[in-house]
Amino acid sequence: MVWKPHVTVAAIIEQNGRFLLVEEETDNGLQFNQPAGHFEENEDLIAAVKREVQEETAWQFEPAHIVSIQLWRRTPKAATFLRVCFAGSCHSHNPEQALDTGIVGTHWLTRDEIATQQHRLRSPLVLIGIDEYLQGERYPLALLKSFLDLDHE
């Protein structure tokens, strides 16, 4: 068996001290998460996070920074995730858009409100990412380089 981590993206979106989270159906019941999801073939990481935010929240997302790159595994036998966590802003909400399968709603919550829901967070990375953001961790998007479909003659 070939081991490989799941590559995911997540968006930290803050407005007026509140963070945009999705409430989603999981194997463990309804849980909160940042708008997030798996990186797909033929897209770069910025396109992936924009797509995931749009699909899960009906907002258009403009990433401004990388907050962190997180490597996480719940237990030694669980899947490993490599998660690129972005921060940015939203615009152009479409309230008529159906949200991605499994998303039951979106919520703007304060950091303290999120902390009181720790038992319902999809992973500890939700609050860790918010705390990293609040501590001022910001890295330029220029760190990301994509070299897709290059002709190597």
Q: What is the pLDDT of residues 77-87, one digit of tens each?
A: 888 999 999 99
CA distance 35 to 50: 10
Q: At residue 148, does pLDDT exceed 80?
A: no
Give the DSSP H or E segment for 25. Answer: strand 18-26
Q: How far apart are CA 73 and CA 141, in angstroms?
A: 25
For the domain 6-78+85-143, what is the CATH code? 3.90.79.10
Q: What is the pLDDT of residue 85?
A: 98
Residue 139 pLDDT class (50, 70, 90 cuts): very high
Domain boundary assignment for the chain? 6-78+85-143
Whole-model pTM: value is 0.92
